[in-house]
Amino acid sequence: MENKTGKYFKYAFGEIVLVVIGILIALSINNWNSNRIQKQKEHLLLSSLNEEFKSNKIQLDSVITIHKYSMKSVEYIISRLPIKNIKFENLDSLSYHIYHLGTYYTFNPSGGVINSLINSSNVDIISNNDLRQLIIGWNDLVLDYQEEEIMARDIYINQLKPFEKKHFNYNSNPYKYLTDPRVDLSILQTLEFDNYVQDRQFALNNILDNSYGELDALIHTIDKIIELSEAKNND
């Protein structure tokens, strides 16, 4: 009787072990499948993020190029100040640079993918901690940089543009700003004109001067997000 009982317990124990092993195998397969699905989702998100930030990099490069182009026009005009004798000035060049002095753009990055990540739990899918932190801090970084651009834009629209419309032939042709006979060229010799140019220089300097590191931080973050979201770095 005891022998039979012993065999029964051994059999029951073996059955329990097999059941436990089966459960563990099932859980392992389920976890593996969940991780595989999670990894696939991460790859899709990173691919979209990579494309978004490559586009943002192109836009930022273009905007900075335009700011630098405007600054060159400002520097040309400042090199002529104070204008003492209009007869000795090349009015075509002055007209051209006054036109381009006022060119302005702001960096408005695409944010569909990154905002979707930030505003949902999907950001937790990103396995790379460095990339996750860059994503979380992105919007604040953009706002810090945009402050200077928005201030420069507002100064131009509210103060400098009205000056241009009052004193120049506000025209889409950069060589016609000063050619209209109704333009009083003596305005070019005034302190008001000097201040108009210097105000624009100040606004552009705030964007391009990297004393506070905002522009460098923006460029570095874009480059780093592109690098860390490349498929070759997430296999």
| pLDDT one-digit tens code per residue, 72-81 | 999 999 999 9
Q: What is the largest CA-CA distance in the chain?
A: 127
Can you tell me the mean pLDDT for 97-101? 93
Question: Is residue 186 scored above 90 in pLDDT?
Answer: yes
**Contact indicator for 78, 116 with CB cutoff of 8 Å:** no
Average pLDDT, the chain: 85
Identify the H or E element spanning 168: none
Handedness of CA 179, 181, 183, 186 (dihedral sign): positive
**Contact indicator for 102, 74 with CB cutoff of 8 Å:** no
Question: Is residue 35 scored above 90 in pLDDT?
Answer: no
**Contact indicator for 147, 97 with CB cutoff of 8 Å:** no
pLDDT score of 108: 93
> What is the number of residues in the chain?
235
What's the rounded Cα separation, in Å, for the pair 155 and 153?
6
Question: Is residue 215 scored above 80 in pLDDT?
Answer: yes
48 Cβ neighbours under 8 A, 6+ residues apart: 113
pLDDT score of 158: 92
Question: Is residue 187 scored above 70 in pLDDT?
Answer: yes
**82-90, Cβ contacts within 8 angstroms, sequence gap of 24 or more:** 82/189, 82/194, 83/188, 83/189, 83/193, 84/189, 86/185, 86/186, 86/188, 86/189, 89/188
